[in-house]
Structure 1
């Protein structure tokens, strides 16, 4: 907390303000603060003779100064952020409200009002351009100014609320402060417009102001970096305003009628909650106060909403190992992937079903409607003739008024009702009776016994929890990248074209768009924001806020990947570059005195070909055994890591920027560095023939390759050689090469094999299969993929991996034992028991009965045994499938470690683990280096590392950024695979079935070393047998033709679709081999 000492100036007064805060025990406390109202608050206007302005961003008093009300700011934030408009004054009261109202909007407003580099708060970096830093947005501290402060008015009966009074007071004071100022209020509020008129203050809507601006001459002289105002831009941001203007215009009556119909069609489908003929599709969300109360009473659970298959299945994770299953659109209740939600536990009859019944799929609105109708027909058919007989004997009037309890059937009826299809009473009766026959009931009360025993059960023994979303605590994000498509729909027997947005992420539902599909949006990658999702709409309603570029373009698709995974691509700021040493920097003399000198020790690095950011190098020394028991070792191996913390000082601008980026992002065609290139490719990179500063782990081995001694030191090295993996392997394999380098590489290889075997015996998993691919391009032209081939993994890959793992294990133990509170560790929870059980069931169908998985040691031995059978395809598939069963490895702070199980890394069979070996590309490694500096009294650790709030925030950001970087890399591989297939043409190829779900099969393509999904539809004759986990193919007479099971060989048609959002390859089933 910051305390400000205020001098007692004449004329000042103070008031009391209060607010309510939820404490750690979920209790509401009333907080009272005394606020001093000052008379010397700066106006924020450049060249003001009265005020002392120390702000970096000041308004231009010679131009019109705009003051926007709250609703305008919220509604048009994207326009203000993206387009060429500025000189805007933001009242602090409005700024603070947006800060608490919406994090996404607040980040944008903050970037407009302040330089990002001024902030020291750990938050995700935004991708704002330098253009926004040149805009003039200024926050006026009206709540602390004596002349503009407005007290709360509890007796406000006229609807003229506090915010509107504040705006009027600010304008009046500014005019009194400087009568030459031209101030305009921007608002759609009729009361504010009327009051401005009474006080002789210019006031208009933002749309009216922009139209005036376009007609003026001043606009043509504006900054060219922003978007110019034209009709295409206005349609994107002012769709509703344009329609209203057309509606009022008699000259364009015909056009307005067309536009109005389009707009009202969307509203009729989504927004019009007053339509008495509609039935809600969802339950209303709880209010914030109700959610707080129910959280306190443990009636609802807070967790992260994770979609498995959109509109069908989701999980809500509320601890490391505990989660709740959410089934069906109704129970998902408008939650979107990664939202923080409130969930109520319910009873679920189908507990024997697997939690992941579907492959990730996103179907169009047209296909969804067809699928729903098809499911209704099938379900009714299954009830049989008994249904029809019993319907005739039932009271139809009673059936009409009865409430349909079944979630899936009710949802189907709502869809039919909304689109005015199949509304006859007989079908409704049949659905009702079907529900009754299935005896499906849903209890809305909380199952207290399940909830109270959540943390007392072992993961393999837990009963699945089922729930429904009752509220949204916070939305994850509101902007998505993708493509807009047209779909036809029958509304009142009139065929209408509706626009839907398909997101890059298949876990995001289709979004209805309030715009017309014109050339500027057709076949373009766009950014869309969600405006609303009410209880009457199957899909959320949104609008397009920007266009990235043409589909199928490398630059555009790369932008889309960056947007989807929230990766900042902005240039490093001037303040960051000021932290760098000069290009001709040399190691200072004092470092030679303080560090261990390894310049004359044989040292080399082994990396992928063309690697420039070399983090690590190995040194080898052959020592003579001197008979001393305490020094009974003959090999000394140094693992030397770039000393990045020497250049990146704590709390410097470059440190703050790195703490936000967290990791370097590698795509096929480019990379986004965590640090400037002067460090990553030069001063920190352990390049051949250059002296470099390192943080080193020195390991001493005896003749049996057992570790005798470990030490951590600051060193100076000079690498003798930079090898690629292939080059180093060739040296090892060349028996005629008896040089010191060759002998050292062979020794390292033997030690690495010894370490890997020891760890494998302990239960470490070797999951690297032959599924990684390598691209070859023509003359470094990424648009011309020449070849796609499997990535070759040499023994030298495993050699480097082994020594990096050894260093990370050793450093983890040191920092945890010596400074637990500040340590940053890497943990890997055990896999989900039910997923491994499902895999075991699959393997039994192909006569593999020796697959055990109770412990990591059992699982490791099972994988190794299958490797020994020389079935390379099965071995690769098994490794891929076991990897999918794994939980995600995460960073964790020492503060949050309560037992040894929380330290363990399952996949590596390590009792404790951290990241130490890649500080050039990972911020977590820099943090670990600083902890070592503190332990060895080299540099004192900043006190923020002892702040649990800071540490948890930073660790959470590390996990988020590291995960996003990994997903972005995969998306890049998928896109370039698509480009390669597009170049060579559609292919017919062989594949192996690796998994079966209700809506399709997962396949492994033997010739292309990659995975894919082949969707199988009921309408094409494919029926899923859930008990036997197989698909049955039937003909039109319902005769069985063949069945598809795990590990069956099939033939598929691999093709590309230019207009698919991810530009991925599609697979169509041809035949079983």
Structure 2
């Protein structure tokens, strides 16, 4: 059966066209109830064995939900107190249209048979399908569809009871008139047995209980005015990025301006949250300012507004007109980017149920929530979701989602890091695992025949200590005519992960392996990552090989690619490989291979640098863990060997060679990686710092920048050059994946590497981008067949967006894990350390402590207190008497960890040297240091004894 609707439209030439739409309806759709005698009974999750008990309705019943209940209250619907729930197909489609994340969460509930949720296809059932009336709003039509389904169920199964849950007052009133039993979600939850903790999870859109001010923020413009303003150019839109060092400042990236637009103060920020897509009004040019050079932390836990008003006054006093950037104010929210946030609970100064939640992410404002279990939750790391932000309230309002675990527990903190950075980390599903090879796995003769057999070559891998996911291995051997054959052999992960299956979909979503301190979140199951794909020493493995014929000056004479089978002779660490190279007594084939590789790598690197490749730096550290307590026992800067650079050079060369091949074969859909040239203003901090030090940092080209950095050396400050390179790193744009068909060729350039073409091929165990590149290369050399999505540049672009996002989040998660464990290491410690001034601010110095890779704030002035320092904005200096502090000056600071704020522990710095009367403190004596170390060691012993 089908329903037809005809539409008459007049076309451009004046003719009338009849457009007929057909909608198929059926009379054999199962209602989902086991007890039904009139439908053909099929599989259903609805069961007579589950009772919905509620004091509001004294009978067992089935629940029908409207769309907004699912969108707003998915957190509470995930509680197992809800069962025998009928999800109408009309509602399901609307949820999917309006929020894909909520749709996925809903589907995971529906697919769980223990939850007893059932999808009823009401829009194709002959008795529940209805036409949309002319002029009827879509919301009204959907409500009518829902009520129609409710009344049909009541007639279809008169012995069963059905309850419609909706928060729409008009829909409820109409439903009651139609004799449908209905209530709000709040009333339904409040009348559940033992519902106190459930009430905390209710999302509330109408918080008017707590008021900070009648007009704390300006009103947002109506949507119609925002759309018109953007259309006529009076308003602009962009992504809101909150400052990490000043809670009263943010920036908005707007396409029409080269520089980000600055927004400051309550009125300027106007309830935008980091990540929101906002509408802004640009102020007149005489109101433009430059970014603030003071650090303002929102440390208040009270509900009063006095502190924020005082800090706003401080901000206004320090506004600068020099080097002003476009400045504006948020006038509306185009699209919220709210998510669930991790953090801790702190009580407000209000009595009763209202409390403040402090997010782990400093860029997110505190959130006011209502809870009946505050005493317990204050001991826990918890998750909270934002519901709304009324303009009369200093803080947004939200609701409690769930507790993660005890504050300070290492497993809990790891979970927070993963959740805060949106890292998929659940166990691999049974469906995903079903696509893994069955054990015992053996290489079949047919697989060998299709590959080049390289098992006889002296291939070895060189990786960090403890590496189990070995992606790459190398070989180098002399051949005739004084030539060298050099091979990069990469794990053939694409052999095991086939396009479109559940394993492939999961890997594409995860996109990358995430490395935390003492933990790793794999992109693919461990059977592949640490076993069948890992190029372990002494084991036969499938590989994808890139092989060059070179002369001894590293000139490439020939390049070939092939699928291969290899047997690595040895898996070494960087340090072990370096020892083999340096030990002249070792003359075996692996040693000769490594020495040749090292010699070629030095030539390759010199050639890259001559072309303008940058050598940048970042303060990376390695954390050593106690094997019993799993506490950090040492934090030290990572050591680099020549072999680090050796491996890097050949991985870069392989990536470049593969990029050339796949672009030649697939000019419209090759997956490549680009690094955009930074706009000149990005380099302002670097250029200013160089000028103050007497160095001219040239930024007109990457080659000139590299040369300028090489020349910026001072014998009296050996770390200065490294700090300049750290600063240069922060001036860079993010390198990103892209599909070749979406950009012009001159945009393919990789600025940092100074190469016109680049991709990722060498790490398919831990990067999904490399798997796609492997597939493209395999098709290009005839080693595998293609599939539609691989050659679709638009789908490739969507994939790249996810790859770029996941890659960025993985980096942030890794840094957050290092920061947490560094804090653990420093708890209870008191020590003096060498550091360097990295930035000079109006009220503080940013100090870099290279030994621990730490960047901390040394406050030198506070509001209301006399400071011995005078700030020179033009020269970026702080002067106290005869002492002048510039960027990159060496200092000695006292380093302690302030743990009073459990959520945001921070390092407290005090100046030891240079000595400034009335400000600096005396160095620690040897006796004080020994006494402190004894206390720490005693505490560690006690902890171990408790564990045992």
Q: TM-score, normalised on structure 1?
A: 0.77
CA distance in 2, matches of 1:134, 1:788: 47
* 2:3 is the counterpart of 1:147: no
Deviation at 1:83, TM superposition (A): 4.6
Deviation at 1:53, TM superposition (A): 7.0
The question of whether the paired residues in 1 share the 8 Å contact of 2:547 and 2:560 is answered with yes
The question of whether the paired residues in 1 share the 8 Å contact of 2:857 and 2:909 is answered with no
SS at match of 2:200: helix
CA distance in 2, matches of 1:269, 1:53: 57
CA distance in 2, matches of 1:933, 1:693: 14
Larger relative contact order, structure 1 or 2 (CA cutoff 8 Å, min sep 6)? 1
Instruction: Give runs of aligned pairs for residues 500-511 of structure 1, distance below 5 A.
Output: 500-511=356-367
Residue in structure 2 matched with residue 1018 of structure 1 by the alignment:
863
Residue in structure 1 matched with residue 410 of structure 2 by the alignment:
554
Deviations 1:459-514 (A, max 9, x none): xxx9944443333232223311112223549xxxxx99973322222111222233
2:116 aligned residue (122, 127, 136): 136
* 2:248 is the counterpart of 1:312: yes
2:344 aligned residue (459, 463, 483): 483
The question of whether the paired residues in 2 share the 8 Å contact of 1:14 and 1:37 is answered with no
Residue in structure 2 matched with residue 185 of structure 1 by the alignment:
164
CA distance in 2, matches of 1:148, 1:1055: 69
The question of whether the paired residues in 2 share the 8 Å contact of 1:15 and 1:37 is answered with no
SS at match of 2:218: coil
SS at match of 1:710: strand
SS at match of 2:86: strand
Residue in structure 1 matched with residue 503 of structure 2 by the alignment:
654
Structure-2 change in CA distance of 1:815 and 1:781 (3 Å):
farther
CA distance in 1, matches of 2:444, 2:733: 46
Residue in structure 2 matched with residue 451 of structure 1 by the alignment:
none
1:952 aligned residue (782, 797, 802): 797
Structure-2 change in CA distance of 1:374 and 1:800 (3 Å):
closer
SS at match of 1:14: strand
Greater Cα offset, 938-947 or 787-796: 938-947
2:377 aligned residue (506, 521, 526): 521
Deviations 1:584-605 (A, max 9, x none): 1112212222211110011000
Instruction: Give runs of aligned pairs for residues 432-471 of structure 1, distance below 5 A.
Output: 464-471=325-332
* 2:708 is the counterpart of 1:852: no
Residue in structure 2 matched with residue 1055 of structure 1 by the alignment:
896
Structure-2 change in CA distance of 1:830 and 1:1020 (3 Å):
farther
Deviation at 1:152, TM superposition (A): 4.2
Deviations 1:955-974 (A, max 9, x none): 10000001001100000000
Residue in structure 2 matched with residue 236 of structure 1 by the alignment:
200
Residue in structure 1 matched with residue 640 of structure 2 by the alignment:
793
Residue in structure 2 matched with residue 774 of structure 1 by the alignment:
622
2:85 aligned residue (88, 92, 96): 88
Aligned residues: 889
Residue in structure 2 matched with residue 176 of structure 1 by the alignment:
155
Deviation at 1:530, TM superposition (A): 1.1
Structure-2 change in CA distance of 1:943 and 1:510 (3 Å):
same
CA distance in 1, matches of 2:584, 2:716: 28
Deviations 1:749-794 (A, max 9, x none): 111111111101111111245x321122222642x22222221111
CA distance in 1, matches of 2:613, 2:114: 53
Deviations 1:281-335 (A, max 9, x none): 2241341x55445445455444322223554333333459944313213233322
CA distance in 2, matches of 1:368, 1:975: 31
CA distance in 1, matches of 2:262, 2:314: 25
* 2:818 is the counterpart of 1:973: yes
CA distance in 1, matches of 2:125, 2:332: 38
1:734 aligned residue (576, 583, 597): 583
* 2:547 is the counterpart of 1:698: yes
The question of whether the paired residues in 1 share the 8 Å contact of 2:487 and 2:546 is answered with yes
CA distance in 1, matches of 2:884, 2:305: 26
Deviation at 1:922, TM superposition (A): 0.5
Residue in structure 2 matched with residue 1069 of structure 1 by the alignment:
910
Structure-2 change in CA distance of 1:622 and 1:480 (3 Å):
same
Residue in structure 1 matched with residue 930 of structure 2 by the alignment:
none
Residue in structure 2 matched with residue 303 of structure 1 by the alignment:
238
* 2:857 is the counterpart of 1:1009: no
CA distance in 2, matches of 1:359, 1:589: 66
Residue in structure 2 matched with residue 564 of structure 1 by the alignment:
420
* 2:509 is the counterpart of 1:670: no
SS at match of 2:487: strand
SS at match of 1:269: coil
Deviation at 1:657, TM superposition (A): 0.8
Residue in structure 1 matched with residue 102 of structure 2 by the alignment:
105
* 2:45 is the counterpart of 1:58: yes
The question of whether the paired residues in 2 share the 8 Å contact of 1:15 and 1:36 is answered with no
Which runs of no fewer than 5 residues in structure 1 stay unpaired? 1-8, 20-30, 116-131, 215-228, 245-262, 271-277, 383-407, 409-437, 441-461, 490-494, 626-632, 1034-1039
SS at match of 2:241: strand
Greater Cα offset, 302-311 or 1054-1063: 1054-1063
Deviation at 1:809, TM superposition (A): 0.9
Structure-2 change in CA distance of 1:818 and 1:165 (3 Å):
closer
SS at match of 2:220: coil
Deviation at 1:236, TM superposition (A): 1.6
The question of whether the paired residues in 2 share the 8 Å contact of 1:990 and 1:1049 is answered with yes
* 2:159 is the counterpart of 1:166: no
Deviation at 1:582, TM superposition (A): 1.1
2:745 aligned residue (889, 899, 916): 899
The question of whether the paired residues in 2 share the 8 Å contact of 1:552 and 1:1063 is answered with no
The question of whether the paired residues in 2 share the 8 Å contact of 1:774 and 1:791 is answered with yes
Greater Cα offset, 315-324 or 987-996: 315-324
SS at match of 2:562: strand
Deviation at 1:160, TM superposition (A): 11
Structure-2 change in CA distance of 1:803 and 1:599 (3 Å):
same
CA distance in 2, matches of 1:369, 1:755: 61
Structure-2 change in CA distance of 1:1018 and 1:191 (3 Å):
closer
Greater Cα offset, 291-300 or 685-694: 291-300
Structure-2 change in CA distance of 1:752 and 1:45 (3 Å):
farther
SS at match of 2:286: coil
Deviations 1:604-631 (A, max 9, x none): 0001111111100001221121xxxxxx
1:269 aligned residue (212, 215, 227): 212
The question of whether the paired residues in 1 share the 8 Å contact of 2:475 and 2:487 is answered with yes
1:373 aligned residue (287, 310, 316): 310
Instruction: Give runs of aligned pairs for residues 479-878 of structure 1, distance below 5 A.
Output: 479-488=340-349, 499-515=355-371, 518-625=374-481, 634-768=483-617, 771-779=619-627, 781-782=629-630, 784-846=631-693, 848-866=694-712, 869=715, 871-878=717-724
The question of whether the paired residues in 2 share the 8 Å contact of 1:340 and 1:473 is answered with yes
Structure-2 change in CA distance of 1:974 and 1:674 (3 Å):
same
* 2:726 is the counterpart of 1:880: yes
The question of whether the paired residues in 2 share the 8 Å contact of 1:484 and 1:502 is answered with yes
Deviation at 1:62, TM superposition (A): 4.9
The question of whether the paired residues in 2 share the 8 Å contact of 1:13 and 1:37 is answered with yes
Q: TM-score, normalised on structure 2?
A: 0.86
CA distance in 1, matches of 2:91, 2:798: 26
Structure-2 change in CA distance of 1:160 and 1:1064 (3 Å):
closer
Deviation at 1:195, TM superposition (A): 5.7
Structure-2 change in CA distance of 1:1044 and 1:134 (3 Å):
farther
SS at match of 1:567: coil
Residue in structure 1 matched with residue 935 of structure 2 by the alignment:
none
CA distance in 1, matches of 2:36, 2:475: 65
